[in-house]
Amino acid sequence: MTNSTEKPQDSKNESSYNLIHVENTGSKITQIAFNGNNYDEWSQSFKLALLAKGKLGYIDGTITKPSDSDSKFESWRSANALVTLWIYNALESDVRKQIALRPKQAELMACRQGPTESLMAYYGRITTLWDEILENDPLPSRSCDPRRCDWVTIMDARREKKRVRDFLIGLDERFDNARSHILGTNPLPNLNFAYNRLFTEEGVRNLTVQRVDTKPEPMAFVTRVNQGSRGQGGPRNDPPLLA
């Protein structure tokens, strides 16, 4: 009998990395799809399917992640990715959309204008996030019956209002006064109005800063003139003292 120093847990983990007899990444390992309301039924079916394929340990914690320097790390990562795809493929489309949107929604909530970032650059970043979310969660077409079209119009208005609030909340503190004024307006203006209002204020502020930077200092000018006069031996031209 050959002695082995291999730990039973390590042997179990290694065998679980085998991908030879598994389906491709687009396959469904259970015919029951999770729709948000059938978790118990779906969970039981999905766990049995994973058990049959020797991959249940990836979701119950019995298969541990090797260190990055471990020679088995790449095999584990490939098998873990496959199990993740199986889970994704076992979800109905509406549930998948919500999962796909979560990272972008979190990124949107954290989107803030930098202290030196221009309004245009900030607007470009947050608009990109809005577009990516809309691509995964579009509103229904308005080519529908009147009752449904009314609902789409309402949802469109709510989305516009949320965008205005997202945009204003993420502004840098230098726009505090303008932000408070716009948020206090009833009804809340649309996004174009809010952006143009703030863009105009930013332009005025930048112009004012430029004028201050280029305006000569009066007292410094007088001092230089007086110093020049004394250096040439001329009479003092000090301004008269007021009584």
Give 62-109 pLDDT, tens digit per residue.
Answer: 888 888 888 888 888 888 888 888 888 888 888 877 777 777 788 888
The whole-number pLDDT of residue 107 equals: 87
pTM of whole model > 0.85? no
Q: What confidence tens digit (pLDDT) does each residue in 104-119 have?
A: 788 888 899 998 999 9
Residue 27 sits in the same domain as residue 107: no
Give per-residue pLDDT as tens, 22-54.
555 667 888 899 888 888 899 899 999 999 888
β-sheet bridge partners, residue 34: 91
Tokens linked to 197? 């209002």
Query: Same structural domain for residues 101 and 87?
Result: no
* 204 within a domain of the structure (yes/no): yes
Residue 229 resides in a domain:
no
Q: Is the pLDDT of residue 205 over 50?
A: yes
230 assigned to some structural domain: no
Give CA–CA dist 114/120, Å, rounded.
12
Question: Looking at the structure, do residues 142 and 192 belong to the same domain, yes or no?
Answer: yes
Q: Which domain holds residue 116?
A: 96-214
Residue with the larger pLDDT of the pair 216 and 185: 185
**Residue where a domain terminates, one of 91, 121, 153:** 91
* Residues 102 and 74 occupy one common structural domain: no
State the number of CA atoms in the 13 A half-sphere of 23 facing the CB.
14
225 pLDDT above the threshold of 60? no
* Cα four-point dihedral sign 153, 155, 158, 162: negative
- Are residues 103 and 208 located together in one domain of the fold? yes
Within a domain: residue 197? yes
Residue 190 lies in a domain: yes
- 47 occurs within a structural domain: yes
Q: On the CB side of 49, how many CA atoms lie within 13 Å of its CA? A: 19
